[in-house]
Amino acid sequence: MNNFILLAKIVRAPELRYTQDNQTPVTEMLVEFQGLRPEDNYTLKVTGWNNLATEINEKYKVNDQVIIEGRLSMKTYDSPEGFKEKKAEVIASRLYRIEGSLSYAAEQPITSHASSDKVVSFDSYKAKTQESDQVYTQGVPLPPTNPVKSNEDSDFDNIPF
């Protein structure tokens, strides 16, 4: 299956138009997302059809942070120089707005409506497991955290399969 999920920022406002034959609504917009390195930013065209097209046009604007669900499509275009170019495009099936900036959301702790007496911090769990030399899981001891390596363990050429 061709499923695509992308976290991006809208950089060109959604443009609503209609097909000539049956007047189906189509919205196109450009989004920008970050690559593996902070200085790598990529732009991608997103297309929405029918009810999603009108919803995108009415509810989304430039600089909105969105999560896009859809499928990735490769389109071939003729360039002005006479070459064929391929460009990726997302055909959206769902769009979700992310409120606030992403850096702020990552720095703030996640809170819920659950009572805080059921929440155990990871630090307290880690401290409890370090108190004992051996940790048991359902009565079976786990292997030591620093196992002693034998010569047989370090021989990678002696693989039994």
Whether 14 is covered by a domain: the verdict is yes
Q: How confident is the model at residue 112, as a pLDDT?
A: 42
Largest pairwise CA distance in the chain: 74
The first and second tokens of residue 79, run together, are 């360039």
Q: How confident is the model at residue 22, as a pLDDT?
A: 82
Whether 117 is covered by a domain: the verdict is no
Q: How confident is the model at residue 77, as a pLDDT?
A: 86
Q: How confident is the model at residue 103, as a pLDDT?
A: 47
Which pTM does this prediction carry?
Answer: 0.58
Whether 38 is covered by a domain: the verdict is yes
Specify whether the CB–CB gap between 25 and 47 falls below 8 A: no
Q: How many domains is the chain built from? A: 1
Q: How confident is the model at residue 59, as a pLDDT?
A: 93
Q: Which CATH number covers residue 63?
A: 2.40.50.140
Q: How confident is the model at residue 105, as a pLDDT?
A: 38
What is the spatial distance between Cα 10 and Cα 46, in angstroms, rounded to a whole number?
10
Q: How confident is the model at residue 121, as a pLDDT?
A: 56
Domain range for 83: 4-100
Whether 64 is covered by a domain: the verdict is yes
91 beta partners: 47, 71
Specify whether the CB–CB gap between 76 and 120 falls below 8 A: no
Q: How many residues does the chain have?
A: 161
Whether 114 is covered by a domain: the verdict is no
What string of pLDDT tens digits covers the 161 residues of the chain?
689 899 999 999 999 999 998 899 999 999 999 888 888 889 999 999 999 999 999 999 999 999 999 999 998 988 889 899 998 999 999 999 998 655 433 434 444 444 445 555 555 555 555 544 444 445 555 555 555 555 555 555 555 54
Contact residues for 22 (Cβ-Cβ < 8 A; gap 6+): none
